[in-house]
Homo-oligomer: A and B are copies of this chain.
Amino acid sequence: MEKKLFITFLKERGLRFTKERTVILQKSLSFNGHFDPESLYHQIRKTGLKASRASVYRTLNLLCECGLIERVRKTDRGTIYESSFGHKHHDHMLCIRCGSIIEFYSEPLEKIQEKVCKKHGFLGANHTLEIRGYCKTCQKKKK
List chain B residues, Cβ under 8 A from A125. 96, 132-134
Q: Is the pair A134, B126 in contact by a Cβ cutoff of 8 Å?
A: no
Assuming A109-B113, A109-B116, A120-B102, is B129 touching A129 (CB within 8 A)?
Answer: yes
Complex Cα spacing A115 to B112, Å? 14
The A69-93 residues at the B interface (CB cut-off 8 A) are 70, 73-75, 93
The count of chain A contact residues (Cβ–Cβ below 8 Å) is: 35
Asked if A108 is at the interface of the complex by the 8 Å CB criterion, the answer is: yes
Q: Is the pair A128, B127 in contact by a Cβ cutoff of 8 Å?
A: no
For A101-130 the 0/1 string (1 means CB < 8 A from B) is 010101011001101110011111111111
List chain B residues, Cβ under 8 A from A123. 133-135, 139
> A-side interface residues toward B, CB under 8 Å?
70, 73-75, 93, 95-96, 102, 104, 106, 108-109, 112-113, 115-117, 120-136, 139
